[in-house]
């Protein structure tokens, strides 16, 4: 999925902001401190709380995004986000990857 217009981009931003709000209300930092953003076939896009550490000099991350494939039980891709707007392009990319992984005869066809 590619964000084609500002309306779609705004909807994706709102979805990410809502997920971040839900994530922020989860107490603790355990594995349950994650929020599902989207499901595509056997794949999920999840949001995890940031580590709180300044790993790359850009300030502490707000959250991590992960593309997880349940059929292989593995993380396919992940990305650290310092701003909500950073996540829009990544979510679009993860949806595209998940769609490709779930196509019959595609890389995810096991």
Residue 107 is assigned to a structural domain of this protein: no
| Counted domains in the chain | 1
Max mean pLDDT among 20-24, 59-63, 73-77 falls in: 73-77
Whether residue 109 is contained in a domain is answered as no
Q: Would 59 be classed as within a structural domain? A: yes
Residue 32 within a domain: yes
Binning pLDDT at 50, 70 and 90, where does residue 29 land? low
Task: Say if 19 falls within a structural domain.
Answer: yes
Q: What integer pLDDT is reported at residue 1 of this predicted model?
A: 42
In a domain, 74, yes or no: yes
The whole-angstrom separation of Cα 90 and Cα 38 is 12
Domain membership of residue 34 (yes or no) is yes
Q: Which domain does 62 fall in, by range?
A: 6-101
pLDDT tens digits, 62-84: 899 999 999 999 999 999 998 88
> Looking at beta carbons, which pairs linking 34-42 to residues 24 or more positions away fall under 8 Å?
37/65, 37/91, 38/91, 38/94, 38/95, 38/98, 40/95, 40/98, 40/99, 40/102, 41/98, 41/99, 41/101, 41/102, 41/108, 42/69, 42/70, 42/71, 42/101, 42/102, 42/108
> Is residue 110, in this structure, part of any structural domain at all?
no
């Amino acid at each position: 999925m590619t964000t084609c217009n500002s309306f779609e981009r705004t909807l994706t931003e709102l979805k990410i902001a809502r997920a971040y709000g839900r994530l922020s209300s989860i107490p603790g930092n355990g594995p349950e401190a994650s929020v599902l953003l989207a499901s595509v076939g056997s794949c999920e896009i999840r949001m995890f709380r940031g580590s709180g550490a300044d790993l790359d000099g850009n300030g502490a991350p707000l959250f991590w995004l992960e593309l997880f494939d349940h059929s292989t039980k593995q993380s396919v891709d992940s990305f650290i986000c310092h701003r909500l707007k950073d996540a829009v392009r990544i979510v679009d990319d993860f949806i595209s990857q998940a769609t490709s992984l779930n196509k019959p005869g595609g890389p995810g066809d096991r």
